[in-house]
Amino acid sequence: RRVHGNQLPPAAGHHVGVAGVVLNDHGEVLVVQELRGPAAGHWKLPGGLADRFEHIADAAVRKVREETGVDTTFGALCCMMELPSRGPSRAASSDLYILCWLRPLRPDQALTAQASEIAAVRWMPPAEFLRQPFLRRPSSYRRALECALAVASGRESGLLLTYETQPFPGSELVTLLSPRL
């Protein structure tokens, strides 16, 4: 609905979720098991919702540190999925789920599960991760994970996120997605 002649649509109704794809020196992926919720009992990538106005890269690094204790730095955006709204608290919205490749800052970091949310954290071979029952059949989620693992292992390039101010009056900070060359 347009208000007072404004041609812009109403505010977006998206929730932004991020997940970190972190590989160690042995090519194993960092995974977690949640204490409760639909993913409890399954290994998944560490991640969660970005805070309001939080940059995607910062959110991914923060969520991995909170859930696993592993300090990382942003490498590239791997892929993005749009998911329909889930549950009454998210009516009339959608979720944007963004998978980010993150590099561990140190190879010998101790794994520490976030006591309030995470039951377990570990390094797992990617093939074992993808053999979980809910990932055995083709799906867009499995494809997103395969794409993310390809970026993290260097087989695909992913996208860089560049935060910059535009060079014209009244400019604001913008995010530029570009191929990682």
Q: Catalytic residue numbers?
A: 66
Kindly give the pairing relationship between strand 118-124 and strand 29-34: antiparallel
| Helix (H) or strand (E) run with residue 19 in it | strand 14-22
Alpha helices in 77-159 (DSSP H): 126-130, 140-152
**What is the rounded CA–CA span in Å between residue 134 and residue 123?**
19
d(CA 73, CA 62): 10
Question: Could you give the angle at the alpha carbon of 36 between the alpha carbons of 93 and 84, nearest 5°?
Answer: 20
